[in-house]
Every structure is written in structure tokens, then in C-alpha cells.
Amino acid sequence: MFNLILFGPPGSGKGTQSELIIEKYGLIHISTGVLLRNEIAEHTPLGLEAKKFMDKGQLVPDEVVIGMISSVLDAHPQAKGFIFDGFPRTSAQAEALDKLLALKKTAITLVLSLEVPEEELVRRLLERGQTSGRSDDANEAVIRARITEYHNKTAPVADHYARFGKFQQVKGDGNIEETFALLSKEITPFLK
Ligand code: B4P
């Protein structure tokens, strides 16, 4: 199996690039952001709980997110591999993911981290906020709070995977096609 984590701050293009990667390589896409927004749209108890955090630009509690991931992994026993988009976002989530994958006799193959300057992140998210209807893109204060959460809680996840030589930075401030070409260069050798 080939299991990829697409890593990077909010607005770095994880969701955008994941769509292109699944189309080219046939992996199963797991986006915790999409899963959480679906729960909110369906007014489930999990969605109502998640919304309280997401509207403020905060991370949703680990146990909520880890439970969701576990169900999705179980739903795809024949997958040739997964792309994790927006997960793990804390060290506790990374440790839980390692354990869940070990139970399935697999592991993370590679972590690709999209590097984009902060002002470009804010610009992209404000632009998306004009049309997305996403409450967490709605104003700059919430966007900055998400970036702060990233620095405080998510950035340390990089060390977790760098220790095993699986962490690779990729320039993410070019256009969508340029960034996809750089990611493909890293992925293709594993999936030839
Ligand atoms: P996510 O849904 O994961 O979203 P994101 O980090 O905001 O965006 P992403 O990096 O995917 O950017 P995108 O491609 O969309 O998280 C939302 C919230 O959910 C979190 O704040 C948190 O509250 C919660 N959450 C999710 N996962 C969690 C977890 N594991 N634990 C706890 N809480 C969790 O791109 C953004 C914009 O830029 C788009 O408009 C796009 O068109 C544009 N763009 C992309 N690439 C571009 C490029 N190269 N050039 C110009 N524009 C580009």
C-alpha cells in the first residue's frame, strides 16, 4: 500500500492537490475537513460539536476526529492506498494513525508538506471566503487563529515523521499545475 499524508497550513492547497492526486493515482481520499463539514451539514451530534470549534478557527478535539478516521479506514478494506488530507493535525492524531495503520499491517509511506508564505495563505482563504460560505474563511481574525493553531499544534507533527525519514517539503506557492507537478515528482517513484 502507498499511504500519503498531504501536510501544510490552512489554505496551502491540500484539498485542491488531493483532488488531482486521487484522479492520477487512484488513492482513497480522506479529508477530515470534508468529513466534518458533511457532519455539520447533516446536523449530526458530532457535527454540532465540531462546529463550535471550527467557527472559531480551533481544532476539533482529537477523539472526535480519530473516531471518524477509524470508520473510514474500515470502510475501504481493498484500498491500494490512502491520501490523508488535513489529518493528522496533532501529535496525538499522528500516534493514533500509526496504530490504526499498524492494525491493518501497513504504515505511512510519505509525508509531503506544502510550503506557502503566511500572507499568501490569508489571501487565498479570504478569496475563497467570498464564495465558499465557509464560516471559518469568513474573516481574517478566524483565518489567523487557524494559522496559529497550525503553528502551535500541527507543525510538531512534522518532527514525528521526520524522525523516520518520511517528511519532505514541497514548494506550494506556485500555481495549481506547478505545485501538482512538484508533488507528482515525489509520488510517482512509489507508484510506477
Ligand atoms: P480543512 O478543510 O482541512 O481546510 P484547510 O486547511 O482550510 O485548507 P486546504 O489546505 O485544504 O486548502 P485548499 O486546497 O482548500 O480544515 C478546516 C477546519 O476543519 C480546521 O480549521 C479545523 O477546525 C477542522 N479540522 C479539519 N481536520 C481536522 C483535524 N484533523 N483535527 C482537528 N480539526 C480538524 O485551498 C484553499 C484556497 O486556496 C482555495 O480557494 C483554493 O482554490 C486556493 N488555492 C489552492 N491552491 C492554490 C494555488 N496554487 N494558487 C492559488 N490559489 C490556490
Query: What is the predicted ipTM?
Result: 0.87
Helix (H) or strand (E) holding 108, with range, is: none
The pTM assigned to this predicted structure is: 0.94
Ligand 1 and 29: CB distance under 6 A: no
Contacts of residues 181-190 at CB distance under 8 Å and 24 or more positions apart, as own/partner, are: 183/6, 183/17, 183/21, 183/112, 184/21, 184/24, 186/110, 186/112, 187/2, 187/4, 187/21, 187/25, 187/110, 187/112, 190/2, 190/109, 190/110
Please give the mean pLDDT across all residues of the chain. Answer: 95
Out of 77-91, 93-107, 127-141, 166-180, pick the least confident: 127-141
Ligand 1 and 87: CB distance under 6 A: yes
Ligand 1 and 9: CB distance under 6 A: no
Please give the number of the atom of ligand 1 that sits closest to the Cα of 58. 23
Chain centroid, CA 150 distance in Å: 11
Joined grid coordinates for residue 13:
492547497
Please give the number of the atom of ligand 1 that sits closest to the Cα of 33. 2
Q: What is the mean pLDDT of residues 140-154?
A: 96
Q: Whose CA is nearest to atom 25 of ligand 1?
A: 33
Annotated active-site residue 144? The verdict is no
Q: How many residues does the chain have?
A: 192
CA distance 192 to 189: 6
Q: Which domains does the chain have, with CATH numbers?
A: 4-180 (3.40.50.300)
* Percent of the chain whose pLDDT exceeds 70: 100
Joined grid coordinates for residue 53:
470549534
Annotated active-site residue 124? The verdict is no
Q: Which pLDDT band, with edges at 50, 70 and 90, does 192 fall under?
A: confident
Place of cell 525519514: 165
What 8-state DSSP symbol labels residue 27? P
Q: Which pLDDT band, with edges at 50, 70 and 90, does 138 fall under?
A: confident
Annotated active-site residue 56? The verdict is no
Out of 128, 144, 153, 166, the active site residue is: 128
Ligand 1 and 10: CB distance under 6 A: yes
Q: Which pLDDT band, with edges at 50, 70 and 90, does 47 fall under?
A: very high
Pocket test for ligand 1, best of 17, 32, 180 (most atoms within 8 A of CB): 32
